Amino acid sequence: MTGVISRALRITACSAVLLSGCRDATREQPPSRQTAGGSDGLADLDCPQYRVWPFDAAEAKRRQAETAVRLGVPVEQTIELADGVGLELVLIPAGRFVMGFEDSDLNKPREVVIARPFYMGKLELTWRQYMVFKQKDHLANLRLDTVLKHERERLDHPIQGIAWRTCRDYCKAASKALGCTMRLPTEAEWEYAAGAGSTKRFIWDDVLRVGDANASRPVQRGGQCRANPWGLYDMIGNVSELVFDQYRAGKDEPVRTVRDDPGGDKGIAARHPELWTSSGPYDGFRVVVEMDQKLLSSLKVRKAMEIRTQGS
């Protein structure tokens, strides 16, 4: 209980930090959607600002709905990657929270501002979705060949055993083809979205309960366990999820961060390193689609077309 209280109070006690300001050995510039407190960088988007944290599930849903109404976009939407292959996305509102945990060596509590809303994959990316923009990843493609030849029922299971570099290249290819900005979530975005206002390690509690996560093998089709208050599935358990950030902030080394323990032991506090060119057997990912004016325009055009179709 003490740990939860101190973490909640740090929202007013600690100094806000900028987590994404460094370059690394891959020479990739980090997304600039999270900022230090005070300058939210939202001049180009009219969206609600939320400064209170933590908050309960009802408030999480209220913020999500209010943001959708203000921006004129749906809470949930599906992007068509190819004929018959969709990608379900969930709207995550802007806000601030205390990132990190007291017992973490490299992820100590500090206040972080998520500067603007974004869409996040409702589920971890699947083999079927990966096939649409397949990359030159020998090990991942060998596993895909096995699925196609012997285990086609697993095509809609999360991809696993994929390298960070491949995730990055997949997102770049998808962005170019779809006309949006798709990428890996930053570590702050991932933890903020996973917790959905909660201070608990397992979102709903400080202990893992049956049905809250797939904390055993084998990896299963996504969405079989409980969704968090924002409608995201498998933020605990199933496969690990690669994020954009370096494992040790500010270090010029090609080591990236992996969040979520497939065994579910540490909940949303789980965190481990992985070389950007290699992969663990359970490494997967989910995507973020940035909320920018280009995306807003396309969503509003689609909404207007749907309304006209319904009225005809």
Domain boundaries defined on the chain: 2-311
Predicted pLDDT at 180: 92
Tens digit of pLDDT for each residue in 236-254? 989 999 999 988 766 666 7
The residues near 139 (Cβ < 8 Å, ≥ 6 apart) are 161, 163, 279
* Full-model pTM: 0.85
Residue 80 reports pLDDT greater than 50: yes
Tens digit of pLDDT for each residue in 31-79? 654 543 333 334 467 899 999 999 999 999 999 999 999 999 999 999 9
Assign domain 2-311 to its CATH architecture.
Answer: Alpha-Beta Complex (3.90)
User: Percentage of the chain with pLDDT > 70?
Assistant: 79
- The count of C-alpha atoms lying within 13 angstroms of the C-alpha of 229, restricted to the half-sphere facing its C-beta, is 23
Predicted pLDDT at 117: 96
* Residue 63 CA: distances (Å) to CA of 48, 112, 288: 8, 18, 19
**What number is the average pLDDT over the span 80-107?**
91
Residue 185 reports pLDDT greater than 60: yes
Residue 223 reports pLDDT greater than 60: yes
Mean predicted lDDT score pLDDT of the chain: 82
**What number is the average pLDDT over the span 284-293?**
92
Residue 225 reports pLDDT greater than 50: yes
**What number is the average pLDDT over the span 193-197?**
97
Query: Between these two residues, 117 and 39, which has the higher pLDDT value?
Result: 117
Write the DSSP symbol of residue 267. Answer: G
Alpha-carbon gap, residue 37 to 35, rounded angstroms: 6
